[in-house]
Every structure is written in structure tokens, then in C-alpha cells.
Amino acid sequence: MTTARELMTPDCAVVSVDATLAEVAQLMRDQDVGAVPVCDGSRLAGLVTDRDIVVRCVAEDADPGAITARDIASERTLTIEADHDAQEALKMMISNGVRRIPVIDEGQLVGIVSQADIALSMPLKDAGELIEAISSAPPNN
């Protein structure tokens, strides 16, 4: 059994609930990522994606320097325990139409599993089918 911990990207970039969306977007650019976990202290408070910034801020003609990560972080953030089977993460991604799942260990964020992390661990043929399955679901994050 391959665990979520074995596939995850450890030490992922995170932002505080009080970070502005401008700061979040700059971090995404600098780290070349499309999603950033939002933490309130050591507790995972949500996830902000590049799509969240566009749909919930830019498209609403809001000021990204005035809106915080707390304001737009996805409230219902799926998580997976670090030692759970990575197949569970895959099932969660497909059934919920998400491309990333934060990984927690004893309530603490330890990394993030993305569709790319899972796809890289599979044979090429299976990886293509995985990406198609996740991508065909309505986007949630």
C-alpha cells in the first residue's frame, strides 16, 4: 500500500488567514503552485486556489490587497491522513472534483497531494485516465 505521505509534496507553502490575496497570488507565482493551504496558527483553515482568486476577487472587481485568504478560502476543505492509502486520496479527488488534497498528521498540515503527484506514481496509460477522470468532474478547488 502506498500512503498519502509517500506521494505528497511535503513542506508546501502556506499562508495565514490574514494574508491578502495579493500576497497569496505572489506566493503562488513565486512557488509555481495553483493552490495554497490557509492556516490559522497550526490549524488548517482552508485552501485558496488560483481559480478562487479569479472568481471570488478579480471577477467581482474587488481589491486583492484588501481581501484576505480567510475571506475566500474554501470552507469545506477535504483532507487525508498522512498514513492513509493513496488510493483513498484518488477516490476523494475523483468523487469531489478536486485536484489537490491537504495531508494532515495528528491534526497538523504536513503536505499536499495533487493529481500530478498521483499521476507521476502511475504507468503513463493509467495516469492519463486519472487526469481525465479528475478533470471531467466539476472544479471545486
Residue ranges of the alpha helices (H) in the chain? 4-7, 21-31, 50-56, 69-72, 86-96, 115-120, 124-136
The number of beta carbons lying within 10 Å of the beta carbon of residue 29 is 10
Is the pLDDT higher at 136 or at 61? Answer: 61
- Please tell me the predicted confidence (pLDDT) of residue 116: 81
Residue 123 scores a pLDDT above 70: no
Does the pTM surpass 0.85? The reply is no
At 58-91, the pLDDT tens digits run 999 999 999 999 999 877 789 999 999 888 888 8
Closest residue by Cα to residue 129 from 78, 93, 103, 88: 93
Return d(Cα 83, Cα 35) in angstroms, integer.
Answer: 22
Report pLDDT for 130: 60
**pLDDT category, 135, cuts 50, 70, 90?**
low
Residue 120's pLDDT band (boundaries 50, 70, 90)? confident
Q: Which domains does the chain have, with CATH numbers?
A: 4-136 (3.10.580.10)
Q: Tell me the pLDDT tens digit for each residue of 15-36.
A: 999 999 999 999 999 999 999 9
Amino acid 124: pLDDT: 53
Q: What does the pLDDT read at residue 59? A: 92
- 117-123 long-range contacts (CB < 8 A, ≥24 apart) are 117/7, 117/8, 117/9, 118/7, 118/86, 118/89, 118/90, 118/93, 121/2, 121/7, 121/86
Position 122 confidence tier, pLDDT thresholds 50, 70, 90: low
Strand partners, 100: 114
**Average pLDDT rounded to a whole number, residues 2-15:** 91
